[in-house]
């Protein structure tokens, strides 16, 4: 029996059924909190905030470390909930990843800054808590992204009200069960509800900051909500990351990395590789190398650790993936492999799909697919590839691949994205700032910049 799941779940008559993404069996019931319960959580967070801030950095960091240790100790149990609810193999890896994030965030150093001192006057810049932070998260990495939000917020002396995606509430409620063992009452509360509760949280008058990870469409609504409370925003929104493979690249050396940059977590990654631009001279070879990997990749329920690809997490996303592939096929693109559901594995499995001879205006290229599908697009001139890669509203990540890293880094300078990787794609690190440009959002997470984003600046002049 999974005791974390038992504590996260409520009796059937009081909750909404949450399904195993792979088998579609009910794994538990998530509470559906009301706006009244949300208001109570925000009030409790506001009441707890001054004494949490008064604890100081050293004590808050110590508590983040203690939570990280507990997360590592409970990673198998928490990981099982993540795997079943979200679908990924290796849910425990996500729990360990969250622990790593907590430790690094706890150990970051952000000192007050001396701005000026001329003997007769002195000016210092301090980073002080904002108050209550609202965290609103998606369903692709429910526990990891919750940690991305709450770790810097708590570290800086804020309290947090966290609303997980309605698709993956149980893993975050289970995480909250671990947090409760370490944190004073009210310091972090999970409110499990639908979009209406999310909207009420974003617009709540006592919220000082909203950190949101999710789609660009919802990000826009959150900006509107924040007109009322003037909450500061960190918006990590959708991505449609392009990669450019330069002429002369060793296809054998990069094919694996390119494949997993696109298909990790079954493509349900904000900064997954979603459009691959390949030079004409390498095109045929790389398309077949990717198709070979797609055909070999093991797919099935994440509870079997041999499976590296799982289901699409929810029916709405499955419908998007199916539509984008169907549209590409209708317009004459070549479905090299995949292109159909893997119904024998379960209703939400979709075969890893490589699409070739596809144009920029195909929906599968122009829109974020967020699933196990990669369009491979041919180019002949590097300048043209850069222009086409940049011709999108999104600007989360991008990558450039080539035999000469200096040449690739020079092309990377011309890519419009918050992070541009060279000969790699999608890696994030708790010490290195991460954030989007254009419609992929604004504000930074991670590293010292991420701490600053969870604080107000205060100038002391004397
Ligand atoms: P979503 O926007 O549908 O939902 C995200 C969250 O917002 C959910 O908790 C939802 O209940 C809540 N919500 C919905 N309407 C709201 C409103 N009006 N006000 C406040 N909250 C509201 O996104 P999703 O489908 O869960 O996640 C997938 C998207 O997230 C993809 O576009 C992906 O690229 C993006 N994403 C981005 C990053 C990043 O770091 N940039 C990371 C992961 C996912």
Residue-by-residue DSSP string for 30-82? EE---HHHHHHHHHHHHHHHHHHHHT-HHHHHHHHHHHHHHHHHTHHHHHHHH
Catalytic positions are 236, 270
Q: Please state which CATH number belongs to domain 241-422.
A: 3.40.309.10
Is the beta carbon of 238 within 6 A of some atom in ligand 1? yes
Q: Would you give the end-to-end CA distance of the chain in angstroms?
A: 61
Pocket test for ligand 1, best of 215, 262, 318, 324 (most atoms within 8 A of CB): 215
Is the beta carbon of 415 within 6 A of some atom in ligand 1? no
C-alpha 254 to ligand 1 mean position (Å): 31
Is the beta carbon of 397 within 6 A of some atom in ligand 1? no
Which of 267, 314, 304, 303 has the alpha carbon at shortest distance from 24? 314
Asked if residue 60 lies in contact with residue 52, where contact means CB atoms within 8 angstroms, the answer is yes
43 vs 37: CA distance, rounded Å: 10
Query: Strand order in 113-117's β-sheet?
Result: 113-117, 122-129, 455-461
C-alpha 312 to ligand 1 mean position (Å): 16
Helices (H) and strands (E) in the chain, counts: 16, 19
203 vs 127: CA distance, rounded Å: 25
Question: Hey, whose CA ends up nearest to atom 15 of ligand 1?
Answer: 195
417 vs 365: CA distance, rounded Å: 17
Both tokens of residue 205? Answer: 């008058």
Name the pLDDT band for 415 (thresholds 50, 70, 90): very high
What percentage of residues in the chain have a pLDDT greater than 70? 100
192 vs 174: CA distance, rounded Å: 12
pLDDT tens for each residue of 196-250 = 999 999 999 999 999 999 999 999 999 999 999 999 999 999 999 999 999 999 9
Which secondary-structure segment (H or E) carries 259? helix 251-263
Is the beta carbon of 339 within 6 A of some atom in ligand 1? no
Name the pLDDT band for 392 (thresholds 50, 70, 90): very high
Q: Which residues pair with 423 in a beta bridge?
A: none
Is the beta carbon of 235 within 6 A of some atom in ligand 1? no
pLDDT at residue 157, as a whole number: 98
Q: Which residue has the tokens 């289901």?
A: 311
pLDDT tens for each residue of 341-375 = 999 999 999 999 999 999 999 999 999 999 999 99
Q: Which residues pair with 400 in a beta bridge?
A: 244, 422
Flag whether pLDDT at 1 surpasses 90.
no
C-alpha 250 to ligand 1 mean position (Å): 37
pLDDT at residue 2, as a whole number: 93
260 vs 257: CA distance, rounded Å: 5
Asked if residue 142 lies in contact with residue 172, where contact means CB atoms within 8 angstroms, the answer is yes
3-state helix, strand, coil in the chain (%, to 5): 45, 20, 35
Domain regions of the chain by residue span: 3-237+440-461, 241-422
Give the Å distances, CA to CA, from 48 to 111, 187, 206, 439: 24, 6, 13, 35
Is the beta carbon of 231 within 6 A of some atom in ligand 1? no
pLDDT at residue 194, as a whole number: 86
For residue 361, how many other CB atoms are within 10 A of its CB?
A: 9
Q: Which residue has the tokens 């975050």?
A: 172
* Rounded average pLDDT over 429-449: 98
Both tokens of residue 415? Answer: 């890519």
192 vs 172: CA distance, rounded Å: 9
Structurally, what CATH architecture does the domain formed by 3-237+440-461 represent?
3-Layer(aba) Sandwich (3.40)
- In terms of Cβ atoms closer than 10 Å to its own Cβ (0-12, 13-18, 19+), residue 194 is middle
Asked if residue 213 lies in contact with residue 137, where contact means CB atoms within 8 angstroms, the answer is yes
Which secondary-structure segment (H or E) carries 227? helix 216-229
């Amino acid at each position: 029996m999974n005791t974390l799941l038992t504590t996260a779940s409520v009796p059937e008559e009081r909750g909404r059924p949450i399904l195993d993404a792979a088998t579609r069996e009910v794994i538990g019931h998530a509470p559906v909190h009301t706006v009244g319960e949300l208001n109570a959580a925000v009030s409790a967070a506001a009441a707890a905030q001054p004494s949490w801030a008064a604890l100081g950095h050293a004590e808050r960091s110590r508590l983040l470390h203690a939570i990280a240790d507990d997360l590592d100790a409970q990673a198998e149990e928490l990981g099982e909930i993540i795997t079943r609810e979200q679908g990924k193999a290796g849910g425990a890896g996500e729990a360990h990843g969250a622990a790593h994030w907590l430790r690094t965030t706890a150990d970051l150093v952000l000192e007050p800054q001396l701005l000026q001192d001329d003997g007769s006057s002195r000016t210092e810049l301090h980073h002080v808590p904002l108050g209550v932070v609202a965290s609103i998260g998606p369903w692709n990495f429910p526990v990891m992204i919750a940690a991305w939000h709450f770790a810097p917020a708590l570290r800086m002396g804020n309290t947090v009200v966290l609303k997980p995606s309605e698709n993956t509430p149980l893993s975050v409620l289970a995480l909250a069960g671990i947090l409760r063992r370490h944190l004073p009452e009210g310091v972090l509360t999970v409110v499990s509800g639908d979009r209406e509760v999310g909207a009420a949280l974003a617009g709540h008058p006592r919220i000082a900051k909203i950190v949101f990870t999710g789609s660009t469409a919802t990000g826009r609504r959150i900006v509107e909500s924040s007109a009322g409370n003037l909450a500061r925003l960190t918006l990590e929104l959708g991505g449609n990351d392009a990669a450019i493979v330069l002429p002369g690249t060793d296809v054998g050396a990069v094919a694996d990395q390119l494949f997993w940059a696109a298909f990790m977590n079954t493509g349900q990654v904000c900064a997954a590789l979603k459009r691959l631009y390949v030079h004409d001279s390498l095109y045929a070879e790389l398309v077949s190398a990717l198709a070979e990997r797609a055909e070999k990749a093991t797919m099935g329920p994440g509870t079997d650790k041999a499976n590296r690809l799982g289901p699409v997490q929810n029916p709405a996303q499955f419908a998007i993936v199916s539509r984008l592939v169907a549209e590409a096929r209708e317009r004459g693109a070549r479905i090299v492999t995949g292109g159909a559901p893997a119904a024998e594995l379960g209703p939400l499995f979709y075969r890893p799909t490589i699409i070739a001879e596809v144009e920029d205006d195909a929906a599968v290229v122009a829109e974020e697919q967020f699933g196990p599908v990669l369009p491979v697009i041919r180019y002949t001139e590097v300048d043209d590839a850069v222009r086409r890669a940049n011709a999108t509203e999104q600007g989360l990540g991008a990558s450039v691949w080539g035999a000469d890293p200096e040449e690739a880094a020079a092309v990377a300078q011309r890519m419009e994205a918050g992070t541009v990787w060279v000969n790699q794609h999608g890696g994030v690190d708790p010490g290195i700032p991460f954030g989007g440009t254009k419609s992929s959002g604004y504000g930074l997470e991670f590293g010292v910049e991420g701490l600053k984003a969870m604080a107000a600046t205060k100038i002391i002049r004397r």
